[in-house]
Chain A
């Protein structure tokens, strides 16, 4: 821990301001709360929204886990942990169940999270309507008026054109029948974990200066039509080559020497745990 900077880098006033925005976000699930995003020593677009949430919440007694693409060891996760360690005294862990705050990019851990835990997600583009409307001024009105026809139309057009809804990750959800929300670039595989969860999900977009939240026990429904149900990524018939799991999100790995294609868990710490059982 370096003494020349304040605990958790930001000054106390900034941290308090961010916490107030978090409270508002929790009070209105799925609504994007604007906040005065601060510049950090880490690049905008590299998880600064998530980091600001983490920094504003963290204190002695917390245990932090940071993952990127499901992996604790990925360069960006390592870098963020190094930064938080530099300006706080909290221990880091790779075990999902031991952490009080988990910051993540692109995944929700496989181990179900509890009421004692907060999952902080890094968000590049918080606006779910951005794919149908580039102007912030317009999308804000669309949310206010619940004018969600354009995004439904987009899903419908995709069905007509390709016979499938072609959105990969960042699949939009309806929160408490009120706000359509971008779950951040998690795969569709993780969307159901948002619904009626035990833990608090916080979403931070640093560059776009927005915070939003899904508190525990919130209704979160991935957009779908009555006759065309929501569909997750399909790993039927595939299993992790290391731990043998068949119910996890799998990374596809291509061995250029043998031309062989195999799969392994994207959540590396879960994979290790299964192997050590």
Chain B
């Protein structure tokens, strides 16, 4: 009760926004959008994935606008998304024909199509590279482009998924292929028990940190055993929309980068020992999120009392916009409700003293 009812809100807000602009101005150097887009690629990917809007240019703009806060950037993109009309829905995207830039399996050494290590920080030593403090950006870019030119291009082959072989053997049968109309979580209230399409959409848009923490809890003991990454692949997926003039024809509208993961677990099938599969797919190069998603997808199929096995717990608390919105609302005035609480406490105490 230290301050009187907040008034003069309008001027205060304006001053606050000016101060934000001051913080954002930072230095006399401009933050080029191309630089954010091309040199902060993983941050851009994370923001696009949590926003559920694939646009590197807008993600970069959003990051510039909010001092690089990933949750603020997600917020900006989601709000912008609300204003856009949905004209088309793409056909089911085929990840088998993904133009793969990285593909690994922790389950099999030899997989049809082969493993491609691609670009990964996994095997780098995380030593601060002080040489980057003063880097010749132009020189670096030239060297890298020269390196690419010297390579001989290879025509990408479509790769069937590792799980395909196991499915043929009858070892995995958790889900039938389903290309029906998915539940749309952006236009409907999520209801429980949730359909698998609703579950996968929710997980795919969820906050990276939330999914990672939950999946970690599963691995540490608050869940089923240690899953095996059957396959992780990143690459470009082609998107098409139906061509309205001609039945059965479609139009290519572009490509997006996806990371797709399948994890294998032992399934508790009473009759026969089988494998179960968890699936993860996220926008961009966002590997830990995709793995965490796959772990949780499987965990939600498991009966039990751990947090990661509770559908409502997992699906309702991981949305960046929702969690950050509700947490930040605690900063709003609560004078009336607090007064009411105070009144209830005082009355009860009075009653007890009587």
Contacts and interface: CB of A to CB of B under 8 A. Distances in A.
A164 B79 contact: no
B67 interface: no
Interface in A122-142: 124, 134-137
Contacts of A105: 332
Contact of B9 (A36, A75, A250): A75
B2 A106 contact: no
Contacts of B336: 69-70, 106-107, 169, 185-187, 249, 251, 266
A234 B1 CA distance: 18
B121 interface: no
B1 to A, nearest CB: 4
Contacts of A186: 336
Between A44, A210, A250, the greatest number of chain B beta carbons within 10 A of the residue's beta carbon is seen for A44
B13 interface: yes
A263 to B, nearest CB: 10
Interface in B241-298: none
B6 to A, nearest CB: 6
B215 to A, nearest CB: 22
A227 B70 CA distance: 55
A224 B225 CA distance: 50
Given A137-B192, A210-B189, A43 B333 contact: no
Interface in B31-57: none
Interface in A167-225: 167-170, 185-189, 207, 209-210
Nearest to B326: A45
**B: contact size bracket:** 35 or more
A35 interface: yes
A266 B333 contact: no
Nearest to A77: B9
A78 interface: yes
Contacts of B328: 43, 45-46
Interface of A: 5-6, 9-11, 13-14, 17, 34-41, 43-46, 48, 68-71, 73-79, 82, 105-107, 124, 134-137, 162-164, 166-170, 185-189, 207, 209-210, 233-234, 249-254, 256, 264, 266, 268
Interface of B: 1-2, 4-10, 12-13, 75-76, 78-79, 81-85, 184, 186-193, 312, 316, 321-322, 324-329, 332-337, 339-345, 347-348, 351-352
Leading 6 A-B pairs by shortest Cβ distance: A44-B325, A34-B189, A45-B329, A45-B326, A168-B340, A36-B187
Given A40-B82, A70-B336, A169-B341, 5 more contacts: A34-B189, A39-B321, A46-B329, A79-B9, A162-B348
